Amino acid sequence: MTPDPYATGSPRNAAIPASDQPTAPYLDALIAYGFRGSTRFHVPGHKGGAGADPGLRSALGSSALLLDLPQDLEGIDLGPSPTPYERAEQLAAEAYGAERTWFLTNGASQGNHALCLALAPLGTHAVVQRNSHASVIDGMVLSGGVPHYVAPTYDDGLGMAHGVTPEALGEELSDAAAEGTPARAAFIVSPTYYGLAADVAGCAEVAHAAGAVLVVDQSWGPHLGFHRDLPPSALALGADGASTGTPGSSAGPTVFGPTLGALVSLPVAVIGAVAAGRLRIPAGGLIGPLVLAAALTAAGAGAVPPGWLLNAAFAVIGLMVGLRFDRETGRRVGRLAPAMLAAVVGVILGCAGLGLVLVAALDVSFLTAYLATTPGGLSAVLAVAFAGGADTTIVLAVQALRLLLMVLAAPVAARLLRPR
């Protein structure tokens, strides 16, 4: 049997939450493609936001439209294996403790359809939780499988259904076998829409004893298994397959819309600058708002400044810099041109040397290492990395660290080097 090139191995220990994964190869590839500035001759028709309605741009932000890309793009979904898409699937499999993970383009409902088609084909008997999602029922219709329904427990006090118990599942499996139609698979739900988890480990034991695989619809529990205070995931408890997604149960940061983002960004800038000035932090007008915005984002209250505010800020910065240029500045630049050119060459050679160090330390290509250390605009460097086939994840990580260190260290260095 040919090994699956995308399999990650054995499921992880149920008692140990998944470790952090600092890389996001698919997102990095989307960013590198979306911000490289090339003309688009493919869908969607808004062409990265240039042809979008102004109201839509205001509501979603320009970055979201730049990253609105179709599937099957070379270097993202297609290309030499493993593509960023395949690497992202491998990371997802590792995070959930699965041997293989498939991303879905139509939510967990599509996953339920695929599981029914795979495990309950035409004429195959399966035990199905009676209050399963409609996509499981649809899947059985599509596959031609024969369902044997098992009822969940019902809470009269709360007026809601809980999960299926191992005893009820075992009884239905036994009845199906006694009728001469043994079930090949059992489909249950955990957690329920109300957040109530079933005894998945007990159900897995009962199903396996009856010769059936256990499939769990974990659509409302994508967060399970990622914190010690939460129940383990279905796969970690012995389920053979699971479908999950990221609906409202997945906790994400609260991000303000563009209009409210403007109302939040302006006070953050003022408060951060004033506080940094009183603390005598070098370049407080830059460092203060940066640190305050980072703290708010880490606390789950990130603000998304609208495009017009960003453009206005860039215009002000450009105006401040441009007004500093005069004839004397031009003459000084001319006198310093040879030294500046030598410095540029020195930086290029220095980055090449650092690149060789990264090649030895991280086992990456020289192009990846060089682009990771070279100075320049992050979006421009990522675009070159994407076009050249470099590892955009490594490039983005090192460039972001370089940018952070430069922003924090430059004001201090400028103060120390300033003539007294």
| Inside any domain, residue 165 | yes
Distance of CA 13 to the CA centre of its chain: 23
Residues 232 and 199 in one domain: yes
Closest CA to 244 of 189, 205, 165, 196: 189
Dihedrals phi, psi of 366, to nearest 5 degrees? -65, -35
Looking at 180, 208, 243, which one is the last position of a domain?
Answer: 243
Percentage with pLDDT > 90 across the chain: 26
Q: 3-class SS at 303?
A: coil
Closest CA to 276 of 300, 253, 293, 297: 293
Lowest-confidence region among 232-236, 239-243, 250-254: 250-254
Residues 115 and 210 in one domain: yes
With a cut of 60, say whether residue 251 has pLDDT above it. no
How far apart are alpha carbons 101 and 277 in whole angstroms?
51
Q: How many CA atoms lie within 13 A of 398 on its CB side?
A: 23
| Inside any domain, residue 385 | yes
How far apart are alpha carbons 398 and 79 in whole angstroms?
24
CATH number reported for the structural domain that contains residue 170 in this entry: 3.40.640.10
Contact status, residue 151 vs residue 132, Cβ threshold 8 Å: no
| Inside any domain, residue 101 | no
Which residues form the domain of 297? 253-324
Name the band, by pLDDT with cuts 50, 70 and 90, for residue 272.
confident
> Mean pLDDT, to the nearest integer, of 331-352?
87
Most confident of 20-24, 105-109, 184-188, 286-290: 184-188
Residues 78 and 127 in one domain: no
Looking at 96, 120, 147, which one is the last position of a domain?
Answer: 96
Number of domains forming the structure of the chain: 4
Residues 236 and 285 in one domain: no
What pLDDT, on the 0 to 100 scale, is given for residue 303?
58
The pLDDT tens digits for 123-162 are: 999 999 999 999 999 999 999 999 999 999 998 888 889 9
With a cut of 70, say whether residue 252 has pLDDT above it. no
Looking at 270, 293, 324, which one is the last position of a domain?
Answer: 324
- 214's enclosing H/E stretch is strand 213-217
What pLDDT, on the 0 to 100 scale, is given for residue 362?
80
| Inside any domain, residue 4 | no
Lowest-confidence region among 76-85, 304-313, 327-336, 384-393: 304-313
How far apart are alpha carbons 200 and 163 in whole angstroms?
9
The pLDDT tens digits for 184-236 are: 999 999 998 888 899 999 999 999 999 999 999 998 888 888 888 889 999 99
Residues 359 and 399 in one domain: yes
Residues 214 and 140 in one domain: yes
Residues 135 and 234 in one domain: yes
With a cut of 80, say whether residue 32 has pLDDT above it. yes
| Inside any domain, residue 7 | no
Sheet of 213-217, strand order: 146-150, 125-129, 185-189, 213-217, 241-243
Percentage with pLDDT > 70 across the chain: 86
| Inside any domain, residue 337 | no
Dihedrals phi, psi of 289, to nearest 5 degrees? -60, -35
What pLDDT, on the 0 to 100 scale, is given for residue 165?
96
List CB contacts of 400: < 8 A, sequence separation 6 or more. Answer: 378
Closest CA to 186 of 154, 133, 150, 155: 150
What mean pLDDT value characterizes the chain? Answer: 82
Q: 3-class SS at 185?
A: strand
